[in-house]
Structure 1
Amino acid sequence: MRVLFLVPYPTGQAPSQRFRFEQYLDSLQSHGHTYRLAPFLNEATWRILYKPGQAKRKALGILAGFGRRLAVLLAAPAYDYVFIHREAAPLGPPIAEWLLAKVLRKRIVYDFDDAIWLANTSEANRIAAGLKWHHKVDSICHWAYKNSCGNAYLAAYARQFNSSVVINPTTIDTVHLHNQVRNQLAPGPLVIGWTGTHSTLKYLVPLVPVLAQLEAEGLDFEFHVISNQPPEFSQPLRCLRFIPWQKATEIPDLLTFHVGLMPLEDDKWAQGKCAFKALQYMALGIPALVSPVGMNTEVVTDGHNGYICREPAEWHQRLRQLLTDGLHRQQLGQAARITIEQRYSVIANTPNFLALFS
């Protein structure tokens, strides 16, 4: 069996690609299958895409991506399956998907891990937002041989257009990557942590007063923010430490955390989230404190492997409790690791992923 992967980003760069299918490629090969990865963006364009300015270089990079898509369509007849992650092209109607499904009659596995049919516009993508053609998701779901959805909310959406839907959760490689467990009782500064891209920094804003209150109460801790851009909070925090995200130090940086945060707003976009931050923390034996939104409540069992916090008072209570009780952090962290190994690891989900191509 030969599989063509049409993906937005260069290999090994974007979390959605790394943790949804790239970590299964060895398993695909070990089962006798071959594959080709065909990114829309090259590395040069990816490096500047979310930075201000350089509009000409970005436009040329996008145009070059369309050229690569044309070339790969010409090669598509040689493949048995076409795996499309999110979309074949970031702008415009689903022409490539239509050609693959209706003209070339290819079996499309359509994979998405966000509510990408919604216009989630930020300042960084404001100009391109009008060209995104979000409603194409409906058509691609309808044309797909199988839809691979990150959670039940996304799967329910896809089923409106196609009954062939598989819940394929975002998973963690507990053998080769997240293969260490935080010792919650080791000496060193206590750390509350968060990791994510610039577009999700906004979810931290309601927690800034909570962290400031903990500071005012005399608790000694650091607040680590790992991202591609530093946060800009209106209220200063002495505890704040910004750590630029780097793939090479991703795991050591996360292992500085004693507690991991995943706050969300309760809106349709957030309901499509696949609890990825919580999964990363928990895989490393770090208790996750999460908002009761979407898949968060499936992953975190309140009081067993983390806590679900609804109001600022609950965030404050649980953070204070975990900062002052190392044994409790250790117990939650151990339970969190077991949860990932049993339900959200690459090992546990490999049969489910391989079944997409059958």
Structure 2
Amino acid sequence: MSQPALDLLFLTPSGETLPSVRFRVLPFVELGRARGLAVDWRRAPKAVHQRLAFLLSLPKARVIVIQQKLFAPWELALIRRACGLLAYDVDDALWALHPAEVGQKGSAEKAAKIKARFAHTCAAVDLVIAGNDYLAGHARETQPNVFILPTLLDTDTYTPPPPDAAGVGRFRVGWMGTSGNLFFLPEVLRQLAPHRERLDIRIVSDAPYEGELHELVSFERWSPTLEVEQLRGFEAGLMPLTDDEYTRGKCGFKILQYMAVGAVPVASAVGFNTQILTHGEDGLLVRQSSDWATHILALANDRDMLERMAQSARASVVGRFSLGTVAPQLWAALGLAR
């Protein structure tokens, strides 16, 4: 390969508003450039007929990281020609269907296809960067070289609100996420419904929640420029999940956002959630449906406990998931440490 134009190139499946791009690509582009590396990112076209020209025009790079996208084998071969080291970054169980898709027409065929493509992708690259242990375990079925990197957060940007912003009015419970995951909310709302007079339940997403008990919630459209302030409006943050292959691949990033702004997470005891949170110290884990109301009311009734857990949550995320603390490990894994 001729002298590479770039040290590092990320290939992404979508634009900068996709959470995995915002938090697993763009911060490293910025940090890499600050280190004096030539770093860039490019969004792969969705249409197959456009991708050939895109892949043939890729600049040469010492390292290319494919973020999430499951390219076809022939596409991977073209990408391989453009780099020295090829890595695959994954922070979702891409081989599994979303729970809402399971049982739908054609779902079995789709599941088989994406599972085979995930296995081939892991085998074809030099390194898999996995967001948690569960994802790493699946990647190791075809790729021995796996580096675990949780999704990190800039804790200098995600900070708690001023102390006098808390404790006014109804207890503020919030959920932030993409509209595809509104699917997980009905069970929580059923548990919280009897306590609606005490709670201000907020949903922040790219689309309104229109499901069961939608009248209980207030909706605010997610905005990248307002996101931190929107999170600061929560005193407790919800992360409900079913327990299945898809959800066990989740990296708990919503929880980390809550923790960073001092909102106490109340989350399903599923997958990586149980590794992020220590129940009763920096968050509360839900093991049965009735826990949603029990835990939320416990926080609403005991402000000392709420504040203690919020402070502990903030300290935990800064120490374990801060971009500045953990990012150097990625440069070493990619052979770009200086």
Same-fold call, TM > 0.5?
Answer: yes
With 323-332 and 128-137 compared, the bigger mean Cα shift is at 128-137
Q: Which residue of 2 aligns with 1:83?
A: 65
Alpha-carbon displacement from aligned partner over 1:230-282 (angstroms, at most 9, x marks no partner) = 112333544x1011111121111111100000010000000000001111100
Q: Which residue of 2 aligns with 1:319?
A: 296
Aligned-residue identity in percent: 28
Q: Which residue of 2 aligns with 1:29?
A: 33
Q: CA separation in 2, counterparts of 1:71 and 1:200?
A: 31
Write the mapping of 1:153-168 to structure 2, written as runs, cut at 5 A: 153-168=134-149
Alpha-carbon displacement from aligned partner over 1:300-330 (angstroms, at most 9, x marks no partner) = 1000001011112222111111112222111
Q: Which residue of 2 aligns with 1:274?
A: 251
Conserved in 2, the CA contact under 8 Å of 1:282 and 1:337? yes
Q: Which residue of 2 aligns with 1:56?
A: none
SS state at 1:312 partner: coil
What TM-score, normalized by structure 2, do the two folds share?
A: 0.89
Q: CA separation in 2, counterparts of 1:159 and 1:316?
A: 39
Q: Residues 70, 243 of structure 1: CA spacing in aligned structure 2 closer, same or farther, 3 A cutoff?
A: same
Conserved in 1, the CA contact under 8 Å of 2:63 and 2:83? no
Residue 105 of structure 1: how far off its partner (Å): 6.3
Residue 72 of structure 1: how far off its partner (Å): 3.8
What TM-score, normalized by structure 1, do the two folds share?
A: 0.84
Residue 5 of structure 1: how far off its partner (Å): 1.3
Conserved in 1, the CA contact under 8 Å of 2:186 and 2:213? no
Q: Which amino acid aligns with 2:54?
A: A
Q: Residues 323, 81 of structure 1: CA spacing in aligned structure 2 closer, same or farther, 3 A cutoff?
A: same
Conserved in 2, the CA contact under 8 Å of 1:85 and 1:111? yes
* Residue 145 of structure 1 pairs with residue 126 of structure 2: yes
Q: Residues 245, 105 of structure 1: CA spacing in aligned structure 2 closer, same or farther, 3 A cutoff?
A: closer
SS state at 1:193 partner: strand
Q: CA separation in 2, counterparts of 1:264 and 1:182?
A: 31
Q: CA separation in 2, counterparts of 1:319 and 1:71?
A: 49
Q: Which amino acid aligns with 2:9?
A: L
Residue 16 of structure 1: how far off its partner (Å): 0.9
* Residue 252 of structure 1 pairs with residue 229 of structure 2: yes
Q: Which residue of 2 aligns with 1:99?
A: 78
**Of 339, 342, 354, which aligns to 2:319?**
342
SS state at 1:148 partner: strand
Q: Which residue of 2 aligns with 1:301?
A: 278
Residue 181 of structure 1: how far off its partner (Å): 4.4
Alpha-carbon displacement from aligned partner over 1:33-81 (angstroms, at most 9, x marks no partner) = 112211024xxxxxxxxxxxxxxxxxxxx43x752553343334x2111
* Residue 74 of structure 1 pairs with residue 57 of structure 2: yes
Conserved in 2, the CA contact under 8 Å of 1:3 and 1:81? yes
Conserved in 1, the CA contact under 8 Å of 2:8 and 2:65? yes
SS state at 2:158 partner: coil
Write the mapping of 1:7-18 to structure 2, written as runs, cut at 5 A: 7-10=12-15, 12-18=16-22
Q: Which residue of 1 aligns with 2:154?
A: 173
Residue 173 of structure 1: how far off its partner (Å): 0.6
Q: Which residue of 1 aligns with 2:266?
A: 289
Q: Residues 147, 196 of structure 1: CA spacing in aligned structure 2 closer, same or farther, 3 A cutoff?
A: same
Q: Which residue of 2 aligns with 1:53?
A: none
Q: Residues 236, 166 of structure 1: CA spacing in aligned structure 2 closer, same or farther, 3 A cutoff?
A: closer
Q: CA separation in 1, counterparts of 2:252 and 2:98?
A: 18
SS state at 1:37 partner: strand
Conserved in 1, the CA contact under 8 Å of 2:250 and 2:271? yes
Residue ranges of structure 2 left out of the alignment (5+ in a row): 1-5
Conserved in 2, the CA contact under 8 Å of 1:185 and 1:330? no
Residue 21 of structure 1: how far off its partner (Å): 2.2
Q: Residues 9, 30 of structure 1: CA spacing in aligned structure 2 closer, same or farther, 3 A cutoff?
A: same
Q: CA separation in 1, counterparts of 2:242 and 2:27?
A: 30
**Of 271, 288, 308, which aligns to 1:331?**
308
Q: Which amino acid aligns with 2:198?
A: D
Residue 185 of structure 1: how far off its partner (Å): 3.9
Q: CA separation in 1, counterparts of 2:132 and 2:30?
A: 24
With 258-267 and 200-209 compared, the bigger mean Cα shift is at 200-209
